[in-house]
Amino acid sequence: MTLAWLHSGGAYQMAGYTVSTFFGYAGWGIRDYFVGQAARFTFAEAFVANNLALVHQLQTRFPKSAAVSLGEFDIESNPALPNRLAQQFGVRDRDELGLLWDRDTVAFYGDPAWAARLAETRPLAWTQKLSERSGTYTFEIATNTKGNWGGRPVVQFLPHRVKNVQMLAGSERKPVITDNFLLLPLTGDFTEGQRLKVVFSAQRIPPSR
């Protein structure tokens, strides 16, 4: 079906499960980033952001099983497979098993460099901005309304790769900063006019030749 859509169905990009799922985190989350934060992310970026959110859930909530590979996914011919895998790997939490399952069963199809982005038809719940000056990076969030951060962390892709990251402000919010993205696991309610800031220093990695 995927090949048919890409070949002659007018599709340029797709994402979806390669097998049936009982969980849904990896699927619905793409919608949360792509549609729920319209114009902020391309479809490819939304796919990556949601995968980062899923891996963060695994590594923070279930660190002992974060590296587990289930290896079997034929749930349609064997409906009892999830229960057997849970026993085999000592997984007791449904979220734990579901995150492991979804991590390895969702695929992105098409050209990831093609920028498919929704138009911003209404103001987003918050604005986010990353600026850099002399090796100091400032990530700022300003809320435009009241609401709830929901179950997905805030994600900001960096404009270039960095190394030797040092936190300068905002470490209490437990940001995750790697060579090419910042993830901020905000939870709970927010009010209109709130401002949050994370500041860090880093060295820019020159592009490879």
| 31-63 pLDDT per residue, tens | 999 999 999 999 999 999 999 999 999 999 999
- By DSSP bridging, strand 189-190 and strand 147-148 are antiparallel
Q: Is the alpha carbon torsion for 5, 119, 42, 15 positive or negative? A: negative
Residue ranges covered by each domain of the chain? 2-110, 126-204
Q: Which residues of 190-202 are buried (b: 16+ CB within 10 A; e: fewer)?
A: beeeeebebebeb
| Phi–psi pair at 92, nearest 5 degrees | -110, -20
Residue 115 confidence (pLDDT) above 90? yes
Model confidence pTM above 0.95: no
Identity at 24, one-letter amino acid code? G
| Phi–psi pair at 154, nearest 5 degrees | -75, 135
Identity at 49, one-letter amino acid code? A
Domain 126-204 falls in which CATH fold?
A: Immunoglobulin-like (2.60.40)
Q: What are 152's two structure tokens?
A: 């997905």
Could you give the residue ranges of the DSSP H alpha helices within the chain? 2-8, 25-34, 43-61, 81-89, 94-103
> What local confidence, expressed as pLDDT, does residue 151 receive?
79
Q: Is there a contact between 162 and 204 (Cβ–Cβ < 8 Å)?
A: yes
Give the mean pLDDT of 100-117: 94
| 5-17 pLDDT per residue, tens | 888 988 899 999 9
Identity at 12, one-letter amino acid code? Y
Residue 204 confidence (pLDDT) above 80? yes
> What local confidence, expressed as pLDDT, does residue 23 receive?
93
